Amino acid sequence: MTALAHERPETMSEAKAESVLVPDPDEVLWQLWKAMELPEGYRAEIIEGAIEVSPTGRRSHAQVVNRLRNALTWFLGEGEHAAFQDTNVIHQRRGWIPDVLIAPEDLEPHGDEEDLGVAASAVSLIVEVVSPGKRNQDRDRVRKRREYARAGIPVYVIIDDYDSHGTVTVLTEPDPDKADWVGVHRVPYGTEVTIPEGPAKGFVIGEAITGPKRG
């Protein structure tokens, strides 16, 4: 077969270049995350295209998380939803480990395709208790705030010892396209705030969970 005058024969190097498959960055991170073996006391999450390794919370952090989960467990009672800790939330090759989340008590029908955790679509509420240090604070206030909005989590609560004298922020009405929230309600420690929707609707976060306003 004779090539037309305006056609240039394909070289061997060009043919090889076209056949090279460029790995998907999200898939590479996903496989690395699944294969990671961390020392005790550390956890790894995939947040906005990067694997972030962080230590588990200090005593004061654990105390607030424990109070919150116990109170939510009592509030939810014997219903169809439960409060969980140390559970992977999976969404489009992302993996997060919130401090507390609410999901169906029976997680089996709501696992991700590889059974590594619970699908974000089944999670009705996530709570993060902010840890000290700028990177930790930015993770919960900024990066995870965007990620949870993209995933359409209905309610995101941030309990933040390091915002002024302590604040609780309740974010509702996620806008996945803008990676932000329409509803933002922020109160100082010492002021009660109520979860407005979902299985935890009516649950109150106040001093019994956060402790008093910081000096």
What is the mean predicted confidence (pLDDT) over 12-35? 76
Domains of the chain, CATH where assigned: 57-210 (3.90.1570.10)
What confidence score (pLDDT) does residue 10 get? 54
What confidence score (pLDDT) does residue 57 get? 79
Give pLDDT tens digits for 76-94: 999 999 999 989 999 999 9
What confidence score (pLDDT) does residue 74 get? 97
User: What pTM was computed for the model?
Assistant: 0.88
What is the mean predicted confidence (pLDDT) over 137-158? 98
Closest to 151 measured CA to CA, from 186, 126, 114: 126
Residue 121 has pLDDT above 60, yes or no: yes
Which pLDDT band, with edges at 50, 70 and 90, does 4 fall under?
very low
What confidence score (pLDDT) does residue 212 get? 85
What confidence score (pLDDT) does residue 107 get? 94
b/e per residue, 64-84, with b = 16+ CB within 10 A?
bbebbbebbeebbeeeebbbb
Closest to 57 measured CA to CA, from 49, 46, 47, 67: 67
Residue 123 has pLDDT above 70, yes or no: yes
